[in-house]
């Protein structure tokens, strides 16, 4: 082998090795790329799976968060309901406690102490049984004590009720007086009935005349006026009006004195003059035939006795009893409710809260808040409920007459209205300067229709509208 041949062989070997190296290197690089692609693909797969798991975990967390928030809201709502029920239970418990303490006169703390001491020796069932038995015994005992209290009070206070009639008689000394009262063609008797607003019955066979009117004040004024006219000996329409005016002034003084005497007998001082006058005026007011002042005095005395038994203020209770119906002295003039009238007057004159509450409470306008108010309510019921104290038929009649007069007096052209002859006739005096004769006839028809639609009464009622025009002059030197 020549050198040249050996060199060629070496070169071929080297070329072969180099080519083999290149091929091998290319193959290795291709394998690496494949591995790299596979790795990246696997990494992406892992990344996708990871993101999916994270997303699922996030969604799961959000759902759990929502569930937790809903549970929290449900818990808060339940808690609010529990607090509401707890508050209601506490209010009911406190109310029951007040009732029990008031009924038994034992505080809740004392009751707790008793129950704790008893529970040391008795089982729950035994305690329940004993409590029920004691509660029933307590109720029975309280009722017995209440009955005994009322029996004791009513037996200590004895007072005859005054049943009021609707008429009175005036004795006549001779027939000449009867003739003067009647007057020529009955002029005087008609004027007396019209001006005084009463019925006057004159019977030639009797030595007296009868004056009748449901309004005791009006009837008493009429009787005093007629007696005064009889003493004067001269009777005519002008003299009747002048005498009526003077009698009313004198009578107001008498009424005030009646109020003063009532307060003196009751031992009550420091009463406003308006209340003193209205108390006296109650003497001429009735309720279901029961004299209002007599009822008021009876309620005041009973209220004081009851309040004394219950450790209340006797003087305040008597004061409240005297003023509980004070509004009735003004109802015939105003037509308003006597409770509201009385309460407003009591507030106006700064009467104690116990008095104002008693006025409202005795007709259930509000609940009694004080011992003295309870006493007045009980006394009012006792007085009104006494056998024979009230007459429903008379009360219904008076109410009907008052209603008729109120309807007539509500018209602006009416000066005054009087129901007479057992409310079978109403005399309506109108203001002559505001209405003429034709309008008077229309007014009569209107009043008849209104009374027929509003008032319940038997038979018929005559509406007599009277329009009188006077021309007055004076002769002077």
Please give the share of the chain, as a percent, with pLDDT higher than 90: 14
Residue 418 parent element (H or E): strand 414-420
* Beta strands at 425-430 and 462-466: parallel, antiparallel or unpaired: parallel
Sign of torsion, CA 66 72 76 78? positive
Question: What is the average pLDDT value for the chain, to the nearest integer?
Answer: 77
Q: Domain 399-466 carries which CATH code? A: 3.30.300.20
- Cα→Cα distances 390→39, 363, 398, Å: 116, 17, 13
- Cα→Cα distances 102→93, 310, 371, Å: 14, 12, 11
pLDDT digits (tens, 9 = 90+) for 153-163: 554 554 544 44
Helices (H), 267-387: 273-281, 292-309, 314-323, 328-334, 338-348, 353-361, 371-385
pLDDT of 15 > 90? The answer is no
pLDDT digits (tens, 9 = 90+) for 105-161: 666 666 666 666 655 555 555 655 665 666 666 655 655 555 555 545 554 554 544
Residue that has been written with the tokens 């009012």 in this structure: 380
Q: What is the CA radius of gyration of the chain?
A: 51
CA distance 75 to 78: 5
CA distance 50 to 70: 30
Q: What pLDDT does 186 receive?
A: 84
Please give the share of the chain, as a percent, with pLDDT higher than 70: 64
CA distance 340 to 363: 11
Q: 24 versus 173: which is more confidently predicted? A: 173
Enumerate residues 6+ apart whose C-beta is below 8 A from 40: none
Q: Which class does domain 267-390 fall in?
A: mainly alpha
pLDDT digits (tens, 9 = 90+) for 90-109: 776 667 666 656 665 666 66
CA distance 118 to 133: 14
Residue that has been written with the tokens 């006058």 in this structure: 277
pLDDT digits (tens, 9 = 90+) for 255-296: 999 999 999 988 888 899 999 999 999 988 877 667 888 889
Q: What pLDDT does 178 receive?
A: 84
Instruction: Please say whether the structural domain 162-250 has been given the CATH code 3.90.1490.10.
Output: no
Backbone phi, psi, residue 48, to 5°: -65, -45
CA distance 414 to 434: 9
CA distance 453 to 255: 37
pLDDT of 212 > 50? The answer is yes
Instruction: Specify whether the CB–CB gap between 436 and 380 falls below 8 A.
Output: no
pLDDT of 388 > 50? The answer is no
CA distance 115 to 137: 17
Domain segments of the chain: what residues? 162-250, 267-390, 399-466
> What would the mean pLDDT of 34-59 be, rounded to a whole number?
65
């Amino acid at each position: 082998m020549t050198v040249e041949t050996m060199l060629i062989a070496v070169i071929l070997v080297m070329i072969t090795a180099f080519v083999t190296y290149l091929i091998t290197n290319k193959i290795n690089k291709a394998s690496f790329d494949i591995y790299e692609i596979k790795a990246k693909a696997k990494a992406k797969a892992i990344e996708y799976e990871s993101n999916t798991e994270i997303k699922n975990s996030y969604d799961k967390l959000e759902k759990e968060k929502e569930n937790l928030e809903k549970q929290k809201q449900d818990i808060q709502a339940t808690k609010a309901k529990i607090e509401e029920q707890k508050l209601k239970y506490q209010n009911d418990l406190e109310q029951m406690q007040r009732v029990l303490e008031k009924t038994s006169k034992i505080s809740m703390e004392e009751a707790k102490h008793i129950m704790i001491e008893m529970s040391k020796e008795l089982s729950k069932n035994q305690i329940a049984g004993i409590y029920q038995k004691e509660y029933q015994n307590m109720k029975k005992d309280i009722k017995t004590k209440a009955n005994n209290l009322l029996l004791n009070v009513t037996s200590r206070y004895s007072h005859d009720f005054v049943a009021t009639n609707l008429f009175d008689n005036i004795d006549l000394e001779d027939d000449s007086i009867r003739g003067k009262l009647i007057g020529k063609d009955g002029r005087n008797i008609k004027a007396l009935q019209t001006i005084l607003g009463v019925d006057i019955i004159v019977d030639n066979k009797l030595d007296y005349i009868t004056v009748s009117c449901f309004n005791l004040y009006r009837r008493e004024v009429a009787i005093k006026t007629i007696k005064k006219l009889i003493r004067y000996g001269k009777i005519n329409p002008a003299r009747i009006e002048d005498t009526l005016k003077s009698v009313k002034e004198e009578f107001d003084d008498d009424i005030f004195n009646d109020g003063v005497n009532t307060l003196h007998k009751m031992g009550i001082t420091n009463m406003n003059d308006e209340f003193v006058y209205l108390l006296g005026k109650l003497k001429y007011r009735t309720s279901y035939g029961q004299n209002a002042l007599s009822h008021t005095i009876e309620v005041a005395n009973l209220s004081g006795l009851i309040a004394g038994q219950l450790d209340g203020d006797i003087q305040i209770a008597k004061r409240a009893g005297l003023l509980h119906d004070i509004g009735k002295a003004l109802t015939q003039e105003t037509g308003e409710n006597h409770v509201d009238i009385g309460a407003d007057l009591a507030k106006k004159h700064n009467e104690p809260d116990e008095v104002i509450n008693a006025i409202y409470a005795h007709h259930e306008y509000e609940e009694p808040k004080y011992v003295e108010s309870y006493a007045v309510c009980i006394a009012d019921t006792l007085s009104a409920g006494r056998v024979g104290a009230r007459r429903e038929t008379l009360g219904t009649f008076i109410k009907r007459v008052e209603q008729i007069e109120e309807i007539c007096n509500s018209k602006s052209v009416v000066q005054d209205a009087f129901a007479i002859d057992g409310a079978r006739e109403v005399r309506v005096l109108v203001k002559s300067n505001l209405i003429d004769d034709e309008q008077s006839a229309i007014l009569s028809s209107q009043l008849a229709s209104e009374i027929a639609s509003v008032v319940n009464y038997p038979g018929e009622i005559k509406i007599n509208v009277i329009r009188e025009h006077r021309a007055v002059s004076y002769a002077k030197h």
